[in-house]
């Protein structure tokens, strides 16, 4: 079934409005979810609605949080999110960070006590479209080998460029856990090299992978990057380290509230950025390299024009939540 982005935005916004969110916050959650879905990142897209819904109903997340900004240093702000859904807190942090970075040349916002933020590209992408170079780091529940102790701990970059911003959003595991969760729901195997079972043996069984651990990119290098993110997003920006964050299937009242660190730079403070960024893009294109962010932009445009395909498993899951999809509205 294909459904238009406009119809999905209305439907998903209405769903979260019904759970007690304000119209602004409901629209923000829907926007971040659908951006992930449109860009092909289904693990952070519509499949997350069930998790967010259960957490809001159980009190793991707050429908009407009282978020508070605390400026601890001229260039550092802490957003105390009061249990807000991650996209609500993340977009609030983007607004604060944009103003501060343009005023000062660089700035940092740490988000504490918010739910799962979704795709980090949603935040660095918006900052890039406002002319800022930005970085994002988030710690996540334990997932990668060895252990697991540390999470998939994503890292993202957003940078202004032509014709589209450069956007990098990657986890430190070979694959995001959301893809394995989706495979498990569908009863499908996963590719070899993605995960280990609880005995540490390679597995293609999605359920065994969820009981075990995910393979970090580049072995020890991936683990080192996970530690880097844990220091920045967990120890520095957050309240809780990865080992203590509840897993995605934990009781909904125990919703994980990871740390999120956003850093932004105003290129105008450095001089010459636009020319050097253009030179970089041209060099990559001449070498046949893929410009990070170009594929995301192309998929978003396809989704705007042709809608989003929703498989039967996801249709059934959304139907149980009361989201009645009407196909063919592209």
Catalytic residues: 116
The secondary structure of 184-248 as a DSSP string is HHHT----TTSEE-TTS-EE--HHHHHHSEEPBTTTHHHHHHHHHHIIIIIIII-SS-GGGSPPT
Q: How far is CA 143 from CA 30, 50, 212, in A?
A: 26, 21, 8
**Closest by Cα among 257, 262, 256 to 114:** 257
Q: What are φ and ψ of residue 112, in 5° steps?
A: -120, 145
DSSP state of 21: -
Give the distance between the most distant pair of CA atoms in the chain.
54
The structure tokens listed for 35 are 């951006």
**Closest by Cα among 214, 137, 149 to 175:** 214
The three-class DSSP label of residue 111 is strand
């Amino acid at each position: 079934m294909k459904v238009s982005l406009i119809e999905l935005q209305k439907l998903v916004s209405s769903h979260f409005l019904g759970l007690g969110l304000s119209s602004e916050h409901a629209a923000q959650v829907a926007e971040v979810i659908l951006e992930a879905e449109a860009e092909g990142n289904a693990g952070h897209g519509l499949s997350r609605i069930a998790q967010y819904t259960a957490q809001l109903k159980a009190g793991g997340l707050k429908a009407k949080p009282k978020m508070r900004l605390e400026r601890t240093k001229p260039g550092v702000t802490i957003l105390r999110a009061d249990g807000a859904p991650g996209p609500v807190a993340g977009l609030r942090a983007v607004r604060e960070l944009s103003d501060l970075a343009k005023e000062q040349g660089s700035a940092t916002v740490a988000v504490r006590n918010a739910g799962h933020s979704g795709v980090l590209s949603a935040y660095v992408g918006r900052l890039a479209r406002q002319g800022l170079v930005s970085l994002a780091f988030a710690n996540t529940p334990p997932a990668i080998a060895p252990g697991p102790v540390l999470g998939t701990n994503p890292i993202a970059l957003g940078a202004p460029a032509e014709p589209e911003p450069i956007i990098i959003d990657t986890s430190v595991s070979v694959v995001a856990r959301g893809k394995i969760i989706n495979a498990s729901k569908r009863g499908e195997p996963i590719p070899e090299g993605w995960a280990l079972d609880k005995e540490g043996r390679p597995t293609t069984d999605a359920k065994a992978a969820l009981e075990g651990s995910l393979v970090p990119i580049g072995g020890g290098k991936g683990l080192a990057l996970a530690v880097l993110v844990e220091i920045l997003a967990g120890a520095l920006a957050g309240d809780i380290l990865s080992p203590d964050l509840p897993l995605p299937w934990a009781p909904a009242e125990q919703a994980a509230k990871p740390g999120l660190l956003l850093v932004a730079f105003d290129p105008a403070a450095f001089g010459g950025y636009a020319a050097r960024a253009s030179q970089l893009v041209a060099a990559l294109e001449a070498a046949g390299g893929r410009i990070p962010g170009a594929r995301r932009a192309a998929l978003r445009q396809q989704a705007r024009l042709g809608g989003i395909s929703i498989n039967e498993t996801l249709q059934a899951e959304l139907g149980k939540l009361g989201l009645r999809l009407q196909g063919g509205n592209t």
